[in-house]
Amino acid sequence: PDEGVCGISLTVEGLDVGVQNPDTGACSTDYLSLPSCAPESGTRICGNTTGQVYEYLYQPSAQSIRFVFHTGDVRAGHLGFRIKYEQLRSCPGPYQTQDTPISVIPGTRGSPCYTRINDLKGSINTPYFPKLYPNNLDCVYEFIRASDSFCGVRMQSVHFEMSPAINTIFGGACTDFLHLPSCGFLCGNIDFSWVVEFQPGAASLKFHFHSDEERGFNGFRITFEQVTEC
């Protein structure tokens, strides 16, 4: 993107793609998605509802952002999609930005809760895991891309426990969470294994962990490995 561009906005003007599960909202056969989000399945666009607006960030130093259109093996006669896009020069925080806040870890001598990860494989965890993580905390885990031959980071949960989502009129909402900025929020007790892709030309990708003022939980330990096949 041009200098000063931080993200992209998508407005769905026409949509006739696959079928959306009426109970879960999931898209399983035909969909448009963003592989540089985690979970990728949470970014899938399908069904026939128009008017939605989606905003996604470029990863640090990314040259472009790549969306994937997938169709299943059954020809269902759908018309496809028409989406208007706009490059964004304003990506306000605290969660719709690559410059997420970083806290000082309580009980340390001013250590910032920021982890720069140069290793090809290893694990990350919340502060003091497996003990309860502190309240009012913002942490960043930045995976540095080893070279352009690596396309993404495979991640698998060893343990993942945060406060469960609360029900709102808009659906479930996470108060403590892990996320990739502009992607979905992960909370509660979950197991996962996925690959998060680097965007073309990206130098790194960042995860952000946030806890609110309520009591903490055990948090997470997640194994990771940079991979050359995505």
Q: Where are the domains of the chain?
A: 7-88, 114-227
Is residue 199 over pLDDT 90?
Answer: yes
Q: Which residue has better confidence, 170 or 120? A: 120
Segment 155-183 shows an average pLDDT of: 86
Give me the chain's average pLDDT, please.
Answer: 92
| Nearest partner of 36 among 195, 222, 162, judged by Cα | 195
Measure the CA angle with vertex 100, ends 206 and 128; round to 5°: 75
Q: 24-43, pLDDT tens digit by residue?
A: 778 988 999 999 998 888 89
Confidence label for 74 from pLDDT (cuts 50, 70 and 90): confident
Superfamily of domain 114-227: Spermadhesin, CUB domain (2.60.120.290)
Q: What pTM, to 2 d.p., does this model score?
A: 0.90
Tokens of 207: 């995860």
Whether 13 has a pLDDT exceeding 90, the answer reads: yes
Beta bridge partners of 226: 153
What per-residue confidence (pLDDT) applies to 22? 81
Q: What is the pLDDT, as a whole number, of residue 182?
A: 87
Average pLDDT for 191-202:
96
The answer for residues whose C-beta is within 8 angstroms of residue 165's C-beta and 6 or more apart is 172, 173, 174, 187, 188
Q: How far is CA 137 from CA 96, 97, 101, 134, in A?
A: 17, 17, 9, 6
pLDDT digits (tens, 9 = 90+) for 109-168: 999 999 999 999 999 999 999 999 999 999 999 999 999 999 999 999 999 999 998 876
- For residues 183-193, average pLDDT: 92
